[in-house]
Amino acid sequence: MTLPASLTIDAARSTIRLDPRDPDFVQNPYPAYRAIGEVAPLFHWQDYGCWCAASHALVFDLFRDKRLGREILHVATRAELGWPEPPAHLAPFYAVDAHSMLEREPPVHTRLRTLVNRAFVTRQVERLRPRIAALAHDRIDRFEGQGRAELIGAFATPIPVILIAELLGVPAEMAPQLLDWSHRMVAMYQFSRTRESEDRAVAAARDFSAFLRDYVGRRRASPRDDLVSHLIAAEAQGDRLSEDELISTCILLLNAGHEATVHTIGNGVKAVLQSGLAPADAFADTQNAVEEILRFDPPLHMFRRYALEDIALGPVTIRRGEEIGLLLGAANRDPQRFEEPDAFRPERERPPHVSFGGGIHFCVGAPLARLELEVALPILFERLPALRLDGEALYGDTYHFHGLTALHVAW
């Protein structure tokens, strides 16, 4: 077990130092999570400047704790919290973020989620099963005869990107542009963001919004059987999505609808190939295998929330306005909850992972993500039964996301 060189733990004060860009942590954060969790399941991560929860029990409970929220300015002012105004150059980005249901709390979140759920339900997703299978076969057809491939670019990325574009009704040929906008925007949530990455994210938010405003205008005039048209028409108790809310919702669904799934496909293939299990055995129960993939190496490792009031958690008090990071990756490897947590065991019966979050912010796209994994991964291993790793698989320096930069394989 290799611990990151930058990790120091002060058990008496429940504080740690750990650079999220430490190469050892980037490539394998789980030894650090284990070492921290053994002495401080609730700790102050000084590099982030916030408290973090690492145990499964604590993360599970805090996801459902109504004393925590994704926003705080609906119950307190910046002056009360001692916050400065946000930098002017980030205003266009935050103008989009401000209308995202992921960043809102009730009653606004309740209204937005209700409207979106009516257009994005499991029965709508299930009908995509044949299309996911067709996309998987099409991508494999493109590289099967070559004997080797880089799977992130050739398989893991195009399937969810094309699918979410088609689901919203956005032209599939726009997929590369959508991918570029998405990558630039989600970089805002990474620990390593810079002024350059901020400017790129702002430009992407402007361009993405402009494209969608034009597209939504055309769909208003000529609705079709796609998610954008359904969102335009969605109504609950006389409420509709405003233009700004509609744009932010489309951006959220496009970004979240592929980023995490791309990482999970790559992480999952790597886990299966490194497990030593025959793919037929690994996918003997496909749903169990998918849930274990989601537990074993999830694509998102931290979900941050604000304390809406002072919260006493054992000897620690989280003050109103402070943030707490819920460490999904650590919770999913908690030895107090999972037997042999560092072993990939697809026979686990529906492991209760927290990879999709919990409470009112449980991932709205979970049914689609699960379906993509359940359909695409078995097809990959059935089509390429001799699949094996072809070189070292490296993770990107993108914490709090956790995904491979490339996955070279051969057969």
Q: Indicate whether 62 pLDDT > 80.
A: yes
User: What's the CA gap between 100 and 119, in Å, rounded?
Assistant: 16
Q: Per the domain annotation, does 9 fall within a domain?
A: no
Q: Per the domain annotation, does 346 fall within a domain?
A: no
Q: Per the domain annotation, does 383 fall within a domain?
A: yes
The CATH number linked to 259 is 1.10.630.10
Q: Indicate whether 175 pLDDT > 90.
A: no
In tens, the pLDDT along 192-229 reads 789 999 999 999 999 999 999 999 999 999 998 888 88
- Mean pLDDT computed over 67-84: 93
The structural domain count of the chain equals 1
Q: Per the domain annotation, does 134 fall within a domain?
A: yes
In tens, the pLDDT along 258-315 reads 889 999 999 999 999 999 999 989 999 999 999 999 999 999 999 999 999 999 998 8
Percent of the chain having pLDDT more than 90?
Answer: 77
- Burial, 301: exposed, middle or buried (Cβ in 10 Å; 0-12, 13-18, 19+)? buried
User: What's the CA gap between 205 and 186, in Å, rounded?
Assistant: 10
Nearest to 254 by CA among 233, 226, 219: 226
- Mean pLDDT computed over 64-92: 93
Q: Per the domain annotation, does 310 fall within a domain?
A: no
The amino acid present at 224, given as its one-letter code, is R
Q: Per the domain annotation, does 118 fall within a domain?
A: yes
Range of the domain at 167: 86-296+354-399
Q: Per the domain annotation, does 260 fall within a domain?
A: yes
In tens, the pLDDT along 63-74 reads 999 999 999 999
In tens, the pLDDT along 120-160 reads 666 778 889 999 999 999 999 999 999 999 999 999 999 99
Q: Indicate whether 97 pLDDT > 90.
A: no
In Å, what is the CA distance from 376 to each residue of 118, 134, 189, 308, 388? Answer: 26, 9, 28, 41, 17
DSSP bridge pairs for 8: 17
